[in-house]
Each structure stands twice: as structure tokens, then as C-alpha cells.
Amino acid sequence: MKLARVGAAGAERPAIVGLDGRVRDLSAHVAEIDGRLLAAERLARISAIDPATLPVVEGPVRFGPPIARPGKIICIGLNYTDHAAEVGLDVPTEPTIFMKGCVPTGANDPVRLPRDAEKGDWEVELGIIIGRDGLYIDEDDALAHVGGYCVLNDVSERSYQMEHGGQWTKGKSFPGFAPIGPWLVTPDEIADPGNLSIWLEVNGHRYQNGTTRNLVFSVAQMVSYVSRFYALEAGDLIATGTPAGVGLGQKPPVFLKAGDVMKLGIDGLGVQEQKVIAWGD
């Protein structure tokens, strides 16, 4: 299933995207799409609904974040072999973890650069949405804790990340730096999350053109590993890292400026598009 939240910011309502691509209103059956909804038994009840019986959402549709009130955003750094190589760092022997401290925004909402932005950058990532609480999750059981997958743009301000004390979280947490969606896709539709094409363009130029086959750590390994350090809760989001092609890795580096348009997607998970705007716009 493809589950979404549609409507104006702060007034989104639950929806499902049918096989015909039409967006249909789920609000008569579901109050909200949140972590509690992602339990397997609740998803089974939704999947039993015939989308053709639901009203079509008419007109231009804004896709808000597909999960309401998400919990933690836990990020895995340097998790693609080609990205580690482009930034000149060794492939980690254990997952590198940092936090993203902003609230997710809709897939096509504008991305506003900070007031003193110098090195805005892009990172297309596979997002794992946790569907079942867990601590010390065995790797063999890890996929049972996944409630869905989504596209995530880990927008970054590299000057904050690398030139103000070396703390990655500083460069990742400005408001609007976590577009997710346009929808979440339940695991039954993703046969192998380790075999998906993943790409990003800026102004029509394809900078990132990768595959999750190049992940250093698999989805199961990441969920299990993270649960050693955090009590994972339904609705938490794990950002799994980005392939080669970020702005910082270009020669010379290329950074975002007002007026740029980012477009990104992952096989089976949809496409995002964001216009970059300046502080004050």
C-alpha cells in the first residue's frame, strides 16, 4: 500500500494511493497515519478496504509528511561505498550514527536555506519508518519492525556540519531540511530494499544515480544495530545514507542557491521536487 497525508500544512488528512495512481480519502476509516497505524494487524485491516469505494481527492494535491508526529530521525552516515570514496573517508566498520533534529516536511514543499547559508547540499536517501517498538532487536527479526519505506532528502548545510565544531547534527537540523514522502510504502510492496535505484537531480542535471545495492549495511543490520543504542518506537525514522554525487563531492563543489530545483526519487517509492528559496522569502 501507498499511504499518504494530503492537504494544507497542519490540516492533512489520511489517504491511500490506488494502483491507478488516484489519491483517495481514508479519513472515514482512519483518524491519522502515525506510528500506531503501522502495526501489522492495523495495516491488514486497511489493506482489506477496496480503494474504489473511497472518495477521490480532487484538484491539486499537496502531499504532507506521510507519517504524523514522527519520533526520532536517526541517520546513518557514510553508508554507501561510493559516497565514502567521493568524500575521501574510509568505509565504516560499524554504522556511523547522528541525529536530524528538525520536523519532516512534505515531499514538494520549498526548502528554505538558512540566513547565512554558504554550502547548502542535497542527499537522496531511503527512509525506514519503524512500525513496531523494539530494543535489542535481533537482525533476523529486524524487518518485522519496519512499517514502511519512503524517500527522504537529507538537506544539509555543510558549513554548519564541518566548520563549527565538527558536529554533523548542526548541519542537518535547520527547519525544512527533512522532506519525506510523497507517501510511505508498506514492506509488502518492496521485495528487496537492498536493490532499488536511487537518484537526484538539481536543475535537471543528474548528480546522484545510485543503487541501494551499494549500501554498506543492510536495512536489517541498521535496524538491529540502532536498537542497541536507542529504544526504537513506532513512527521513528531511520535515514539510511546517500550514494555518491552530493554537491560537496563535485570538483569543484556545487552548492544550492535560491531558485534551484531539486528532484529526487527511489524505485517504487515515488518522486519529490523542491524549489530552493532564500531566508526571508
Tens digits of residue pLDDT in 253-272: 999 999 999 999 999 999 99
- Confidence at residue 8, expressed as pLDDT on a 0 to 100 scale: 96
pLDDT for the residue numbered 196: 98
* pLDDT category of residue 13 using cuts at 50, 70 and 90: very high
Residues 94 and 39 in one domain: no
Residues 208 and 118 both lie in one domain: yes
Q: Which domain holds residue 41?
A: 2-53
* 64 falls within a domain: no
Q: What percent of the chain has pLDDT over 90?
A: 88
Instruction: Assess whether pLDDT exceeds 80 at residue 21.
Output: yes
Looking at residue 242, its pLDDT comes to 96
**Whether residue 114 is found in the same domain as residue 237:** yes
Please tell me the predicted confidence (pLDDT) of residue 162.
Answer: 83
- Judged against a pLDDT cut of 90, whether residue 81 lies above it is answered with no
Residue 97 lies in a domain: yes
Answer yes or no: is 68 within a domain.
no
Q: What is the pLDDT at residue 78?
A: 87
Contacts of 116 (CB under 8 A, 6+ apart): none
pLDDT band per the 50, 70, 90 thresholds, residue 92: confident
Q: Is 125 within the bounds of a domain?
A: yes
**Is the predicted pLDDT of residue 83 greater than 90, yes or no?**
no
Residue 89: pLDDT over 80: no
> Are residues 122 and 190 located together in one domain of the fold?
yes
Mean of pLDDT values over 43-64: 94
The count of structural domains within the chain is 2
Tell whether 166 and 134 lie within a shared domain.
Answer: yes
Position 60 in a domain: no
Indicate if 261 and 166 belong to the same structural domain: yes
For residue 65, being part of any structural domain is answered with: no
- 165 and 227 in a single domain? The answer is yes
More confident residue, 85 or 222: 222
Of 193, 176, 181, 198, residue with least CA distance to 23: 181
Compute the distance between CA of residue 126 and CA of residue 210 in angstroms, rounded to an integer.
11
Note whether 19 and 122 are same-domain residues: no
In the prediction, which pLDDT does 86 show?
80
Is residue 19 domain-shared with residue 90, that is, in the same domain?
no
Query: Span 58-63, mean pLDDT?
Result: 94
**42 and 152 assigned to the same domain:** no
Query: Are 120 and 17 contained in the same domain?
Result: no
Residue 243 in domain: yes
Same domain assignment for residues 167 and 263: yes
Residue 271 falls within a domain, yes or no? yes
pTM: 0.96
